[in-house]
Amino acid sequence: MPLSPHRVAVIAPSPVSMFNLAIPEMLFGKVETDGGPGYEVLVCAAEPGPVPTSGGLDLHVRHGLEAVREADTVIVAGTGEPYDPEPRIVAAVREAAAAGKRIAALCTGAFQLAEAGLLHGRRATTYWAHAEEMRRRYPQVDLRGDVLYVQDGPYVTSSGYAAGIDLCLHLVRTDYGAAVANEVARRALVAPVRPGGQTQFAHTPLPPERGAVCADTRGWAMRNLDKPLTLTDLARHAGVSVRTLTRRFHAESGVSPLQWLLHQRVERARELLETTALPMDQVARACGLGTADSLRAHVVRGTGLTPSAYRSQFSRLPAAVARPDSRAA
């Protein structure tokens, strides 16, 4: 845990998306550690003062790009449209990259990073409606159009709109662990951390939920992940037939009940690997995956890492406490 807040500079291009600009403050502002804020967020612009927004309003931005030099992480907001990169912003992110800072882009903010040459030969994404424009302008970028967000080295990019929430929660998880990120998501009333296409992982993200008819059953299942739940168990809790549950569940979640359940089990396993020193067989039972061998198979499929390697890389416990369990190495 850092002794002082992690400093984040959010760059507002013109005309900036107000939604993009609100996401970092909304989420990072809910992180607390050791009784204090986990992040300090400053919004800055190439020209301090009024900055036009894509909604037709002007926002007064007090800080210039000097805020980038003091930041640990730099986030470039988008406009919702492809745009000609602002030379001063391009220079600022290029300088930040040379200084080894983590740099992220929301939506079409990725155009600024591509113009700076940071994404050449790297995986990246942007708002799907402008993916072809980015491919045309920057053919050197390995553009992924089917992910929520993707990280390649120190550079993180997201697709449009709500995917910026997923990117910021991913950053919180990277900095403070799964438990803190999930608590931030709960406090902000948004979906928990969703995997999105990070370089070292190969997740398929869940679609956003589109209804609440099965919400009680989903909540009940989350509280009982350690039990061997079946379709019949879920349907019985919902008070409907298996066929009706499957149809309603798919309509709301975009996946089958068992696909959703497996995703939640793997997410619980990741959280336990990060935040506890439980042996692998206990982790497997606690998240409903049964055995250490089953845990290994699903974690490798979901993250590209064995459970012990994942724990070694992402554990928030002291090294002496979070020793890898050789039974799942």
Q: Rounded distance, CA 107 to CA 120, Å?
A: 18
Model confidence at 305: pLDDT above 90: no
pLDDT at 98 over 90: yes
For the ranges 95-104, 204-213, 229-238, which has the lowest average pLDDT? 204-213
Whether the CB-CB separation of 15 and 53 falls below 8 Å is answered with yes
CA atoms within 13 A on the CB side of 230: 5
pLDDT at 301: 85
pLDDT tens for 44-57 read 999 999 999 988 89
Token pair listed for 173: 């998880």
Q: How far is CA 217 from CA 185, 201, 221, 232, 257, in A?
A: 20, 29, 6, 12, 10
- In the chain, % helix, strand, coil (3-state, to 5) comes to 45, 15, 40
55-76 core/surface letters (b: 16 or more CB in 10 A; e: else)? eeeebebebebebbeebbbbbb
**Tokens, residue 112:** 């600024």
Average pLDDT over every residue of 149-159: 94
Angstrom distances, CA of residue 167 to CA of 182, 184, 241, 278: 13, 13, 37, 29
CA dihedral 267, 270, 275, 276 (to 10 degrees): 110
Neighbours of 87 (CB within 10 A): 10
Model-level pTM? 0.65
| Burial of 145 (C-beta count, 10 Å sphere; 0-12/13-18/19+) | middle
Rounded to whole angstroms, the Cα distance separating 72 from 103 reads 9
Say which residues have a Cβ less than 8 Å from residue 79's Cβ, sequence separation at least 6. 13, 14, 15, 16, 17, 54, 107, 108
Model pLDDT, residue 21: 93
DSSP-derived pairing of the beta strands 149-152 and 39-44: unpaired
Preceding amide of 208 cis, omega within 30? no
What are the pLDDT digits (tens) for 109-137?
Answer: 999 999 999 999 999 999 888 999 999 99
